[in-house]
């Protein structure tokens, strides 16, 4: 469920839409079965937003560590 919520958040979906869309996805994949016991709450989705922010920072640091040359631009006059 967390991966599904993170995927939707990465596509900038509103947290209030994630629960109903999760139900729609389950109904399309399993049309003859009632497998959804509970939908993700908005508080869970907001916690996943924190996880998404952490993952984004981690992936950015990983990509910066891989490059040979790193150029910085300080637009505020600092160096």
Residue 21 contacts by C-beta under 8 Å, 6 or more apart in sequence?
8, 13
pLDDT of residue 79: 64
- Could you tell me what percent of the chain has a pLDDT over 70? 99
Task: Indicate if the pLDDT at residue 66 is higher than 70.
Answer: yes
Q: Closest Cα to residue 3, out of 52, 50, 62? A: 52
Which letter does DSSP use for residue 77 in this model?
Answer: S
Dump pLDDT digits (tens) for 10-39: 999 999 999 999 999 999 999 998 888 889
């Amino acid at each position: 469920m967390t991966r599904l919520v993170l995927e939707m958040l990465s596509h900038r979906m509103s947290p209030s839409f994630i629960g109903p869309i999760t139900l729609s996805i389950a109904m399309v994949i399993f049309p003859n079965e009632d497998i959804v016991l509970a939908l993700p709450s908005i508080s869970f989705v907001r916690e996943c937003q924190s996880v998404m922010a952490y993952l984004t920072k981690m992936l950015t640091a990983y990509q910066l560590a891989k490059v040979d040359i790193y150029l910085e631009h300080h637009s505020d006059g600092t160096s």
